[in-house]
Structure 1
Amino acid sequence: MKKSASFLIISFIISCALAAPLSAADFADTYGYIVGIFDPQGPQNTGLTVFPTLMIPMGGLSEGMGTAYTAVGRDVGYLESNPAASSVMDYTELAIQHKNLIADANMESMVYTIRLDNLGLGAGLKFLHVPFTGYGSYGQQTTTFRYTETVATLNAAYNFLHGFYFNGLAFGANLKVAYRGEPNVPGLIENQSAFGIMGDAGLLARFNFLKFYPSRTRNFSIGVAAKNFGPPALGEPLPSLISAGIAYSPLRPLLFAFDLNVPVSLLPDVPPAPIGFAGGVDVTITDFFATQAGFLLKGGNPRVSLGADVKLANFALHVNYILDMTTQLGALDNFSVQVRFNFGDRGRAAREKKIEDQYLNALDALAHGDYDTTLKLCREIISVDPSFDPARETIKNVLRSIDLQQQMEQLKKPTSEPAPQTGGSSGAPDSTANSGQ
């Protein structure tokens, strides 16, 4: 059944891609009608910020889910969505992406992330390049240059109050440096290259809510992130944004996410863009194949995303296709490919399994009344994982039982001893007492 479902989905995506060029005009009319529904007055206050590369997703699961990723944080896409998620990532990952935008515009990116227990670290690099060629009156090439934007990101996060029952409250931050390179070409405005510095901050919490399957993984999460806050560059504001999101997995193969995005302008004379939102779903069809779909409303350009993720051992391939007002159905526009390498979890899963087995042994010893072995095993567990609260609770219960036993033994002892006799030895009668009779 799983194979047939995945086959139907893949066939549907391929059929849509093959049929799309035949109905491009109809699609444009339909899409224009949809745009009018969501924004009847047309886009307002959009395109007034610098470094648009900051708002272009790198690809992967985040883009496949329509960028509704503030509360998800399952892979390297957290770097642009919520910097707090690096402290709760399952694996060390390296991802390399290529994205076709429109015409000759392309973007390359790379992200690396690692988690050291409750500490998460990450780094990313994005490079947007757009070639331009100038032609004279007779079609001869007169000039050629390349417009570029580069964004480098450093990430750090920590998961506070992490325990067995409470997954913790993760806080993280990004430091970003951006550079726009535009050569001084005759006919263009000079000195348009710019340098910018900005930062992100985010919170993420995970817990169980309306969960219908057994798992230690939490199925509900909430997150909030402030992104791209910094001083203006060349008098233009950065695309600052505050995002709040939720993610919910009612069943193990399903994940739903929703984000609310509120643009912020730090310049009083530049109004912010309108509020937008994003929604997405991730469906795991088999252990190695999953599909995504999402919707993003940002300004007057709503977009629909379709994605697929194939996992093979320590290697994963993710592809996305985006439909919006810039997509040309007859060309390979708005298409991204991500290759993700999994370098393991630094032994966390094996350590958790060992701790769980040792705790079961401790419970078995407790059931047989072997308090000494129970205390020894539980204390060893805490020395390895101080956040394993069941071992602490078991130690408290055992010590309470031992103390109760001691109190009961004290109660069994007689409260007073019989008075010693003052007469001679061998129980002879007291001669003094008898003499008075």
Structure 2
Amino acid sequence: MKGKGIVRAPRVLGAFRKEIAVAVFSCVFSACPYALDLVGTAGGLSDVFSSFVDGNEGLTVFRSLNIPSGGRAESLGTACVALGDDSSFFDYNPAASCILERTEVSVCHNAWIADSAMETVSATARDGNLGYGAQLKCFYVPFTEYNLYGDSVAGSYYSETSAALNVSYNFRAGYNFRGIALGGSARAAWRDVPDYTDNKTDSVISGSGLEQSAAALMLDFGAIVRFNAAKFFSDRNPNLSLGFSVMNAGLSVTGFGSSLEVDDALPTRVAAGFSWRAAKTLLISAEFRQPVNLLSLSSSGLWSAAAGVELSVMERLSFDFGFLLQGANPRISFGGGFSVMRAVVNVNYTFDLTSSANPVNHISLSARMRFGDRGRAALREKVDSHYIAGVSLYASGRIEEAVLEWERALSLDPSFDPAREAREIAVRFLGVKDDIMGIQRFSVE
């Protein structure tokens, strides 16, 4: 890796693996020489959070799966397991695609540490209660090999690339209770390690990096429940969501070109949390996570927790704040988003004990393009118009006509509970009215 003074890797497979691990770890998780001059502050924070040091940190592979794509989700401290209102759900809860309002395509760039970065492209759509989508992520680090004399003899990139396909469905969706969204994603990943050189000739050994490369297959599962609770404002959308997910459950293999073997465990995690819109302009989210080492449960990592707050100051502008407690390196994030026509742009900065001013890192940017909703908004307007017309007719005593309007509303949206409840009341009233009229006729006779 450039600038790290890494000596050329030996031929021995195990030794080379150690060189790779040290190089990637130093690039992704250490501060550069030009770090912010916050030695005293950083030292104090290290002491405060020293009890959260994870003794099992670093025992998993494909660690880039834990790096956020960036943008709004990262600004909220990555507390998004119950949020599910944009395409960032791929990283947190696969159940969300069936509850998104619009078809969406997004691109994200996350300048992580030093020269490492994450690029993400996502697309998702919804057809009724069925949601689906796809995502492609690539994390990359420049990797330069030096010989014993400090000369550069090989240069390339270490990278981890993953692709995911998602499907979800919202069961028992209604007006007050918005259903139980269940979903899953199938994910494949590839770790690409560059070839290294011969110690004596400085020539690149073709295929040598392939032995350290790896492939992984994994599944994500999730559930989201949405309803109204502690709601102090008028809005058609539910204000409380509960979420649960299992991410990156699978297996990785390495040793291509020689003998295949099971790699170290993937960064599997279980998460649960909530998202509560306390007001139209205020969103609060939080979640708890527990890493799970599927190859050795006793080697599972330490729990972590995240929280986020979003404040909308106007229809097209919002500010986000987040906190992530993970190990002994807490992260504080803040950012903002604005929308222009169909585009939504979010910018985020995350500060932790590895933050740097030169070069500036931990900055992420996302851009989302929101397309049509496949007529869902227009349908809601028609349903509302029939319902309101029925209420007006009922108030004027034209109950039979009101029932017809509510039946028209239900024919368009069978889950529209207000129309169903109003119709039931009106039908009961008409039944009582008929009974009274029958009694009156019997009395006259």
TM range (shorter): 0.7 to 0.9
Contact 2:194 2:209 in 1 (8 A): no
Contact 2:265 2:293 in 1 (8 A): yes
Aligned: 1:160 with 2:171: yes
- The corresponding residue for 1:12 is none
For the residues of structure 2 that align with 1:337 and 1:29, how far apart are their CA atoms? 30
Which residue, out of 274, 283, 287, partners 2:311? 283
- The corresponding residue for 1:355 is 383
- The corresponding residue for 2:84 is 73
Matches within 5 A, 1:62-101: 62-101=73-112
For the residues of structure 2 that align with 1:239 and 1:283, how far apart are their CA atoms? 32
For the residues of structure 2 that align with 1:167 and 1:410, how far apart are their CA atoms? 42
For the residues of structure 1 that align with 2:35 and 2:350, how far apart are their CA atoms? 17
For the residues of structure 2 that align with 1:281 and 1:411, how far apart are their CA atoms? 62
Q: Which moved more, 1:269-278 or 1:92-101?
A: 269-278
Aligned: 1:335 with 2:390: no
Aligned: 1:44 with 2:55: yes
For the residues of structure 2 that align with 1:193 and 1:386, how far apart are their CA atoms? 53
Contact 1:119 1:159 in 2 (8 A): yes
Contact 1:203 1:223 in 2 (8 A): yes
Q: Which residue identity is paired with 2:218? A: M
For the residues of structure 2 that align with 1:281 and 1:155, how far apart are their CA atoms? 27
Contact 2:214 2:252 in 1 (8 A): no
Which residue, out of 28, 35, 48, partners 2:46? 35
- SS in structure 2 opposite 1:40? helix
Contact 1:59 1:336 in 2 (8 A): yes
Q: Which residue identity is paired with 1:328? A: S
For the residues of structure 2 that align with 1:41 and 1:227, how far apart are their CA atoms? 22
For the residues of structure 2 that align with 1:169 and 1:269, how far apart are their CA atoms? 30
How far did 1:66 drift? 0.7
Aligned: 1:344 with 2:367: no
- The corresponding residue for 1:426 is none
Q: Which moved more, 1:309-318 or 1:400-409?
A: 400-409
1:90-128 C-alpha deviation (Å, 9 max, x unpaired): 221111011112222121111111122221112111011
For the residues of structure 1 that align with 2:331 and 2:400, how far apart are their CA atoms? 63
Structure 2 length-normalised TM: 0.83
How far did 1:80 drift? 0.9
- SS in structure 2 opposite 1:358? helix
User: What RMSD in Å do the two structures reach over aligned CA positions?
Assistant: 2.2
How far did 1:171 drift? 1.2
1:21-80 C-alpha deviation (Å, 9 max, x unpaired): 99922x233123213212237441101101111111101211111101111122111111
- SS in structure 2 opposite 1:407? helix
Aligned: 1:24 with 2:36: yes
Which residue, out of 231, 247, 251, partners 1:231? 251
- The corresponding residue for 1:9 is none
- SS in structure 2 opposite 1:351? helix
Structure 1 length-normalised TM: 0.85
- The corresponding residue for 2:203 is none
Contact 2:36 2:355 in 1 (8 A): no
Aligned: 1:380 with 2:400: no
Matches within 5 A, 1:196-235: 196-233=216-253, 234-235=262-263
Matches within 5 A, 1:266-415: 266-268=294-296, 271-414=299-442
- The corresponding residue for 2:128 is 117
For the residues of structure 1 that align with 2:342 and 2:321, how far apart are their CA atoms? 24
Over 3 Å counting, the alpha-carbon distance change for 1:268 and 1:105 in structure 2 is: same
- The corresponding residue for 2:146 is 135
Which residue, out of 107, 115, 118, partners 1:107? 118
Contact 1:184 1:191 in 2 (8 A): no
How far did 1:299 drift? 2.2
How far did 1:262 drift? 0.6
Q: Which residue identity is paired with 1:150? A: T
For the residues of structure 2 that align with 1:58 and 1:71, how far apart are their CA atoms? 17
For the residues of structure 1 that align with 2:444 and 2:317, how far apart are their CA atoms? 78
How much identity, in percent, do the aligned residues show? 35
- SS in structure 2 opposite 1:77? helix
1:293-342 C-alpha deviation (Å, 9 max, x unpaired): 11112222221112111111211111111222332222121111111111
- SS in structure 1 opposite 2:229? coil
For the residues of structure 2 that align with 1:135 and 1:22, how far apart are their CA atoms? 23
Over 3 Å counting, the alpha-carbon distance change for 1:146 and 1:371 in structure 2 is: same
Stretches of structure 1 lacking an aligned partner (at least 5 in a row): 1-20, 418-437
For the residues of structure 1 that align with 2:429 and 2:53, how far apart are their CA atoms? 72
How far did 1:406 drift? 2.6
Kindly name which structure, 1 or 2, has the bigger radius of gyration based on alpha carbons. 1
Q: Which moved more, 1:49-58 or 1:266-275?
A: 266-275
Contact 2:221 2:246 in 1 (8 A): yes
Over 3 Å counting, the alpha-carbon distance change for 1:159 and 1:45 in structure 2 is: same
Over 3 Å counting, the alpha-carbon distance change for 1:389 and 1:381 in structure 2 is: same
Contact 1:320 1:336 in 2 (8 A): yes
Over 3 Å counting, the alpha-carbon distance change for 1:414 and 1:74 in structure 2 is: closer
Q: Which residue identity is paired with 1:167? A: R
Q: Which moved more, 1:287-296 or 1:38-47?
A: 38-47
Stretches of structure 2 lacking an aligned partner (at least 5 in a row): 1-32, 199-207, 254-261
Contact 1:61 1:75 in 2 (8 A): no
1:169-228 C-alpha deviation (Å, 9 max, x unpaired): 111111111111113322677601111111111111122222222212222221111111
Contact 1:133 1:143 in 2 (8 A): yes
Contact 2:81 2:287 in 1 (8 A): yes
For the residues of structure 2 that align with 1:337 and 1:41, how far apart are their CA atoms? 29
For the residues of structure 2 that align with 1:128 and 1:286, how far apart are their CA atoms? 35
Q: Which residue identity is paired with 1:362? A: G
For the residues of structure 2 that align with 1:288 and 1:238, how far apart are their CA atoms? 39
How far did 1:152 drift? 0.6
